Chains A and B, each alone.
Chain A
Amino acid sequence: LAKTTQPISMDSYEGQEVNITCSHNNIATNDYITWYQQFPSQGPRFIIQGYKTKVTNEVASLFIPADRKSSTLSLPRVSLSDTAVYYCLVGSSYSGYSTLTFGKGTMLLVSP
C-alpha cells in the first residue's frame, strides 16, 4: 500500500507559483499519481494525473522523477480562489481499489 506524505499546510501570495510535493516511497509499478483539490463543503475535484515525467493541463503541471518516489504539483500564478486542500493519491485498480487512499492533504492558503 503506497502511503503518501505531504506538507500539512503551505502559504502563498496571489500571482506566485506554488509547488506541493508528495512523497510516495512504496509506489508500485501499476500505480498512477493523482491530485485532487477540495474546497470546504464540496467533494474533491480531479486536477491532474500522471505516471512518469511531466504532465501539464490547463490547470496545473505534475512533475514525476524517474524513480517515481515523489511527485510535485505545480500551480502557476495562484489566486485567492486556489485556497483549498490538495490531496495526492497513489494507486490504481490493478493494485487494488484499497490503494486509493487519501492522505491528510495540504492546506494551501493564498493571501492577497
Chain B
Amino acid sequence: SAVISQKPSRDICQRGTSLTIQCQVDSQVTMMFWYRQQPGQSLTLIATANQGSEATYESGFVIDKFPISRPNLTFSTLTVSNMSPEDSSIYLCSVEDRGGRGEQYFGPGTRLTVT
C-alpha cells in the first residue's frame, strides 16, 4: 500500500488568508483525492485530481475556493483560499490503489483552525 504524507500537520490561520496543503506519495499514482472532515463528522469528498488534467470538484466545492494542483504522479496541493472560521476542519488526501475499485489509502490529515 502507498505511504502518504501531508504538510503541514496542523495550522492556525487568520480569516481572509490562504493555506496550501501538500500531499506527497511514495509511489506513482493516477488518482488522488482531497477530503474534508469536520470535527465529529464523516468525510466529504472535495475533489479528485488526475495528473495532467483539471481537478474534478464535487457539488458545493469550487475551484476558486479550493484550487488544486497535480504537477506529477506523486504530489498534489490543495489551497484553502480566503479562509473563514467555517473552513476549520481536517483536510485529508488519499490515493487510489488497484485501479477503479475504490480502495484508497489516506494521509494523516491537516488540522486547520481559522480564527
Residues of A within 8 A of B (CB): 31-32, 34, 36, 41-46, 49, 87, 89, 91-94, 97-105
State whether B42 touches A91 (Cβ < 8 A).
no
State whether A34 touches B102 (Cβ < 8 A).
yes
Residues of B26-81 at the interface with A, using a CB-CB cut-off of 8 Å, are: 31, 33, 35, 42-45, 48, 56, 58
Chain B residue nearest to A85 in the complex (CB): B42
B84-106 interface mask toward A, CB cutoff 8 Å, 1 = contact, 0 = none? 00000000101011011111111
> B104 to chain A: which residues have CB within 8 Å?
34, 36, 44, 46, 100
* Chain A nearest CB, measured from B77 CB (Å): 17
Instruction: List 24 A-B pairs, Cβ < 8 Å.
Output: A32-B102, A32-B103, A36-B104, A43-B4, A43-B92, A44-B43, A44-B106, A46-B1, A46-B97, A49-B102, A49-B103, A87-B42, A91-B102, A92-B100, A93-B31, A93-B101, A94-B100, A97-B31, A97-B48, A98-B58, A100-B104, A102-B35, A102-B42, A104-B42
Measured as residues with beta carbon below 8 angstroms from the partner, the interface class of chain B is: 20 to 34
- In Å, the complex CA distance between A80 and B66 comes to 38
Contacts A87-B42, A97-B56, A100-B45 hold; do A46 and B92 have CB atoms under 8 A apart?
Answer: no
Contacts A41-B109, A44-B106, A93-B31 hold; do A101 and B45 have CB atoms under 8 A apart?
Answer: yes
Chain B residue nearest to A94 in the complex (CB): B100
